[in-house]
Amino acid sequence: MRIIRNAMTLGLVAGLGFAGAVAQAAADPILTRKAIMSSVGAAAGLGGGMMKGEIAYTPAAGKAAIATMRAASLSFGSFFPAGSDTGDSDAAATIWSDAEGFATELDKYSAATASAAAASGKSGPADLDAFKAAFGPVLGTCKSCHETYRKQN
């Protein structure tokens, strides 16, 4: 549960920052978490595209994909307050009924992004092989969380 509590503190700090910039937007954790996951999807598209050779690899782009994943893994867990289980969301009820299991999945995800960020260093992984070694494990964490904690449509 420590992860969730830390994530909530981060979320609060981030929330205070955003409040000044977008004062008129009503707080909507569902919109926020979906937008964060959407950025995760985009980063997976960039990183996966480079891994498959569909997008030319550059260390800067590798770093961007990893940094997006890292930021998402630290913020995503903050946007599941009680009561946000209904509405236009694919979050499964298991997130609230099995909060500990969800925290474990978040933990795996952030552990993978922490290793990737460490390997990324200042300028991004030097070559495609180094990027694959760093980014592959991050992509390996999507499925098990989605299987249990995201509605299967």
Q: Which segment (11-19, 56-64, 114-122, 135-143) binds ligand HEC by CB under 6 A?
A: 135-143
Cβ closest to ligand HEC, residue 122 vs residue 143: 143
**Residue in 46, 65, 66, 106 binding ligand HEC, rule: CB under 6 A:** 106
If you search the block for the tokens 């994530």, which residue do you land on?
Answer: 7
39 contact partners, CB below 8 Å, separation of at least 6: 68, 72
Subset of residues 8 to 37 that bind ligand HEC, contact rule: CB under 6 A: 30, 33-34, 37
Q: 87: phi > 0 → left, psi -120 to 50 → alpha, else beta; which?
A: left
C-alpha angle 27-79-28 in degrees, rounded to nearest 5: 20
Q: Which segment (20-28, 56-64, 125-133, 145-153) binds ligand HEC by CB under 6 A?
A: 145-153
**Residue in 75, 89, 94, 115 binding ligand HEC, rule: CB under 6 A:** 89
**Residue in 57, 109, 131, 135 binding ligand HEC, rule: CB under 6 A:** 109
85 contact partners, CB below 8 Å, separation of at least 6: 91, 93, 95, 96
Q: Using an 8 Å Cβ cutoff, are 121 and 60 in contact? A: no
Under the criterion CB under 6 A, does residue 146 sit at the interface with ligand HEC? Answer: yes
**Residue in 7, 40, 74, 117 binding ligand HEC, rule: CB under 6 A:** 40
In the chain, the amino acid numbered 8 is M
Please report how close the Cβ of residue 19 comes to ligand HEC at its closest, in angstroms.
Answer: 21
Host H or E run for residue 50: helix 29-51
Under the criterion CB under 6 A, does residue 145 sit at the interface with ligand HEC? Answer: yes
Under the criterion CB under 6 A, does residue 139 sit at the interface with ligand HEC? Answer: yes
If you search the block for the tokens 């930021």, which residue do you land on?
Answer: 71
